């Protein structure tokens, strides 16, 4: 028996209703995680243009989690060959050209379809700050040339600039606490949880031309100039941060060398206790005063004469000499003061010391929590070694680094203990590290996170916006089913 049009219509509506009900049932049972597709990756690039060298850091993160904490990971690091970009003051185009090999490496790592959307930055630190002080025109030309080179690649270049010392310190502080999930972490209960304040770490950064200290003190910050305020994940943070230009390890040792040479008979070798015994080199006197950090100490006599520096390798005398580059007397009568009259509240909490802090202590095998006395003993033993013996023992090490480790280690001790006022007891609150969460610690990650707004100022919502899609679809099919049933009822009894 054939079906009339009325029955055919009823069967079609019935079949549609059954399908809609099945779809609604499936959607109501499926979790978002069960149907989500693997997210794509976004990339970011930051050049760290330091005083002695430049490095390119490439970061990546899932495209659907830009505002989640702890999701940015370090994909690649490329060390630019040659000195820092400030060294190209007399040949600015060469500064841009020096970046090309690392840019090519980055392009080989970032998928072509992601390159146009990759934000890229160049931040120049203390070396360029010094060049900017000495020759602003040359500094500007160097920045123009590096910008020109980076802009020639198919990426979202957002500029090259000299960052301030306090920015450098603050971004390093953000990097550490972001990587260690100190600001916020996603708990197993599905909620965003803010760890206790004891989980907020201080940052100690040491470069070639400057050094930074940043931390949350236990007292009110009395000097507004040394204060940085942040609102991260809905919580406010006030940190003390200060950057000392000319007190990076290279410039500090240069200052110590100037003090050693001062008022000496330059016709004879000048002893320098921060260099190993047996080391000797001859240089033009003027080279010691070519830096803005030492220019004001230049003698009135001819700078063209040569001076011979002879290492004497004595840790105690080296530390005594290094203390002379600090103006501690400017803090007389002040309870909260580091040196040169600079305000600093008492250090508080745990600290991560990175960059040259780590590299120097790592070479001397002192990154395993040794106490102050053990560190002093190790430094003294190294300083007493003969230069020829050091060259034989470490044939792969760069000679200038091998020469400087004695002075650098003594400088670190003086800076941390005498200037920043760490004590034998609080010394173990410092951890000397290069990485956290498999990512290099430094200012670059914090800089990128800040400029791309990837750390929100408000607490992320517990419920993901994408969850609503499943429920809206489910409700749609339920309503559709009801409509189809109603149509069948009306058609049948028409």
DSSP for 361-419, please give it.
HHHTT--S---HHHHHHHHHHHHTSBHHHHHHH-TTS-HHHHHHHHHHHHHHHIIIIII
- For residue 334, what pLDDT is reported? 93
Rounded average pLDDT over 138-147: 98
Q: What residue has token string 């003051």?
A: 89
CA-to-CA separations, 173 to 129, 383, 490, in angstroms, rounded: 21, 32, 69
* pTM (two decimals): 0.84
Residue 181, phi-psi category: left (phi > 0), alpha (psi -120 to 50), beta (remainder):
left
Task: Examine the pLDDT at 408 and tell me if it is beyond 50.
Answer: yes
- With beta carbons less than 8 A apart as the criterion, state whether 103 and 150 touch: yes
- Higher-confidence residue: 486 or 349? 349
Angle in degrees, 0-180, between the axes of helices 356-363 and 399-413, rounded to the nearest 10? 110
Residue 453 — pLDDT band, cuts 50, 70, 90? confident
Domain membership flag for residue 42: no
Shortest CA distance to 415 belongs to which of 369, 491, 361, 478?
361
Q: For residues 413 and 75, what is the distance between their CA atoms, to the nearest angstrom?
A: 34
Angle in degrees, 0-180, between the axes of helices 136-151 and 100-109, rounded to the nearest 10? 30
- Higher-confidence residue: 66 or 453? 453
Residue 460 — pLDDT band, cuts 50, 70, 90? low
Task: Examine the pLDDT at 36 and tell me if it is beyond 50.
Answer: no
Rounded average pLDDT over 100-113: 97
Rounded average pLDDT over 175-190: 79
Q: Does 363 share its domain with 311?
A: yes
Task: Examine the pLDDT at 95 and tell me if it is beyond 60.
Answer: yes
- Higher-confidence residue: 63 or 154? 154
> b/e map of 399-429 (b: 16 or more CB within 10 Å)?
eeebbbbbbbbbbbbbbbbbbbbbeeebbee
Task: Examine the pLDDT at 22 and tell me if it is beyond 80.
Answer: no
- For residue 456, what pLDDT is reported? 80
Rounded average pLDDT over 373-382: 98
Exposed (0-12), middle (13-18) or buried (19+): which is 314, by Cβ within 10 Å?
Answer: buried
Q: Does 263 share its domain with 349?
A: yes
Domain membership flag for residue 77: no
Shortest CA distance to 56 belongs to which of 75, 86, 72, 78?
78
CA-to-CA separations, 45 to 146, 157, 313, 445, in angstroms, rounded: 14, 9, 42, 9
Q: Does 343 share its domain with 481?
A: no
Q: For residues 264 and 326, what is the distance between their CA atoms, to the nearest angstrom?
A: 21
Domain membership flag for residue 164: no
- With beta carbons less than 8 A apart as the criterion, state whether 107 and 91 touch: no
Rounded average pLDDT over 159-174: 97
Residue 459 — pLDDT band, cuts 50, 70, 90? low
The residues that are catalytic are 168
Q: Does 381 share its domain with 485?
A: no
Which residues, 6 or more positions from 332, have their beta carbon under 8 angstroms from its beta carbon? none
Q: Which two tokens stand for residue 173?
A: 């502080």
- Higher-confidence residue: 169 or 181? 169
Domain membership flag for residue 37: no
Residue 421, phi-psi category: left (phi > 0), alpha (psi -120 to 50), beta (remainder):
left
State the average pLDDT for the chain.
88
Q: Which two tokens stand for residue 137?
A: 């025109």
Q: Does 370 share its domain with 488?
A: no
CA-to-CA separations, 15 to 238, 475, 480, in angstroms, rounded: 64, 19, 12
Domain membership flag for residue 100: no
Give the H or E element holding residue 100. Answer: helix 100-109
Q: For residues 44 and 444, what is the distance between their CA atoms, to the nearest angstrom?
A: 11
Residue 368 — pLDDT band, cuts 50, 70, 90? very high
Question: Per this entry, what is the length of the chain?
Answer: 494
Domain enclosing residue 474, as ranges: 5-32+464-492
Exposed (0-12), middle (13-18) or buried (19+): which is 296, by Cβ within 10 Å?
Answer: exposed
The total number of structural domains in the chain stands at 2
Task: Examine the pLDDT at 236 and tell me if it is beyond 60.
Answer: yes
Task: Examine the pLDDT at 68 and tell me if it is beyond 70.
Answer: no
Q: Does 468 share its domain with 455?
A: no
Shortest CA distance to 223 belongs to which of 380, 344, 346, 353?
344
Task: Examine the pLDDT at 126 and tell me if it is beyond 70.
Answer: yes
Q: Does 365 share its domain with 487?
A: no
- For residue 449, what pLDDT is reported? 92
DSSP string for 31-63: -HHHHPPPP-EEEEEEEEE-SS-EEEEEEEEET
Sheet containing 351-355: which strands, arranged edge to edge?
227-232, 235-245, 210-215, 202-206, 351-355, 430-432
Which residues, 6 or more positions from 142, have their beta carbon under 8 angstroms from its beta carbon? 85, 86, 88, 89, 92, 95, 128, 131
- Higher-confidence residue: 188 or 382? 382
Rounded average pLDDT over 360-376: 97
- For residue 11, what pLDDT is reported? 61
Q: Does 282 share its domain with 307?
A: yes
Q: Does 392 share its domain with 484?
A: no
219: helix, coil or strand? coil
DSSP string for 163-211: PPHHHHHHHHHHHHHHHTT-S-EE-TTS-EEPPPGGGPPEEEEE-SSEE
- For residue 5, what pLDDT is reported? 62
- For residue 195, what pLDDT is reported? 64
Domain membership flag for residue 139: no
- With beta carbons less than 8 A apart as the criterion, state whether 167 and 214 touch: no
- For residue 199, what pLDDT is reported? 84
- With beta carbons less than 8 A apart as the criterion, state whether 491 and 6 touch: yes
Q: Does 476 share its domain with 360?
A: no
Q: Which two tokens stand for residue 13?
A: 């509506």
Residue 300 — pLDDT band, cuts 50, 70, 90? confident
Task: Examine the pLDDT at 467 and tell me if it is beyond 80.
Answer: no
- Higher-confidence residue: 62 or 27? 62
Q: Does 315 share its domain with 350?
A: yes
Which residues, 6 or more positions from 80, have their beta carbon under 8 angstroms from its beta carbon? 47, 53, 54, 55, 56, 98, 99, 101, 102
Domain membership flag for residue 264: yes
Rounded average pLDDT over 38-63: 91
Q: Does 396 share its domain with 471?
A: no
- For residue 20, what pLDDT is reported? 58
Q: What is the CATH number of the domain that holds 422?
A: 3.30.420.150
- Higher-confidence residue: 181 or 217? 217
- For residue 469, what pLDDT is reported? 44
Domain membership flag for residue 109: no
- With beta carbons less than 8 A apart as the criterion, state whether 2 and 442 touch: no
């Amino acid at each position: 028996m054939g079906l009339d049009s009325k029955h055919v219509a009823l069967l079609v509506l019935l079949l549609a209703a059954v399908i809609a009900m099945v779809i609604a049932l499936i959607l109501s049972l499926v979790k978002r995680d069960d149907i989500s597709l693997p997210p794509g990756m976004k990339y970011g690039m930051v050049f760290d243009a330091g005083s002695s060298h430049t490095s390119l850091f490439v970061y990546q993160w899932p495209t659907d989690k830009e505002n989640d904490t702890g999701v940015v990971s370090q994909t690649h690091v490329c060390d630019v060959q040659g000195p820092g970009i400030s060294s190209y003051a007399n040949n600015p185009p060469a500064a841009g050209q020096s970046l090309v090999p690392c840019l090519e490496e980055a392009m080989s790592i970032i998928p072509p379809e992601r390159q146009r959307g990759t934000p890229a930055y160049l931040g120049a630190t203390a070396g360029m700050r010094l060049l900017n002080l000495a020759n602003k025109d040359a500094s500007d030309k160097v920045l123009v040339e590096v910008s020109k080179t980076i802009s020639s690649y198919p990426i979202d270049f957002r500029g090259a600039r000299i960052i301030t010392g306090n920015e450098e310190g603050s971004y390093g502080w953000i990097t550490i606490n972001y990587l260690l999930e100190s600001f916020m972490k996603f708990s197993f209960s599905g909620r965003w949880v803010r760890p206790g304040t004891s989980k907020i770490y201080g940052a100690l950064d040491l470069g070639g031309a400057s050094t930074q200290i940043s931390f949350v003190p236990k007292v009110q910050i009395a000097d507004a100039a040394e204060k940085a305020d942040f609102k991260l994940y809905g919580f406010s943070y006030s940190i003390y941060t200060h950057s000392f230009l000319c007190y990076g390890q290279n410039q500090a040792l240069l200052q110590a060398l100037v003090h050693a040479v001062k008022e000496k008979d330059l016709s004879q070798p000048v002893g320098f206790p921060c260099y190993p015994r047996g080391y000797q080199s001859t240089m033009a006197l003027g080279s010691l005063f070519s830096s803005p950090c030492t220019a004001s100490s230049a003698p009135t006599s001819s700078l063209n004469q040569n001076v011979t520096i002879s290492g004497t390798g004595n840790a105690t005398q080296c530390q005594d000499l290094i203390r002379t580059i600090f103006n501690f007397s400017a803090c007389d009568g002040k309870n909260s003061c580091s040196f040169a009259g600079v305000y600093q509240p008492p250090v508080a909490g745990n600290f991560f010391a990175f960059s040259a802090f780590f590299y120097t202590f790592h070479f001397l095998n002192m990154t395993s929590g040794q106490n102050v006395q053990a560190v002093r003993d190790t430094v003294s033993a190294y300083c007493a070694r003969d230069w020829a013996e050091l060259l034989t023992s470490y044939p792969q090490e760069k000679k200038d680094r091998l020469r400087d480790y004695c002075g650098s280690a003594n400088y670190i001790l003086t800076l941390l203990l005498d200037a920043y006022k760490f004590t034998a007891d609080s010394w173990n609150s410092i951890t000397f590290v290069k990485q956290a969460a498999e990512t290099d610690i430094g200012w670059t990650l914090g800089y990128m996170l800040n400029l791309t707004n990837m750390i929100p100022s408000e607490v992320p919502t517990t419920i993901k916006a994408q969850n609503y899609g499943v429920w809206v679809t489910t409700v749609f099919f339920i309503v559709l089913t009801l409509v189809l049933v109603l149509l069948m009822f009306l058609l049948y009894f028409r």
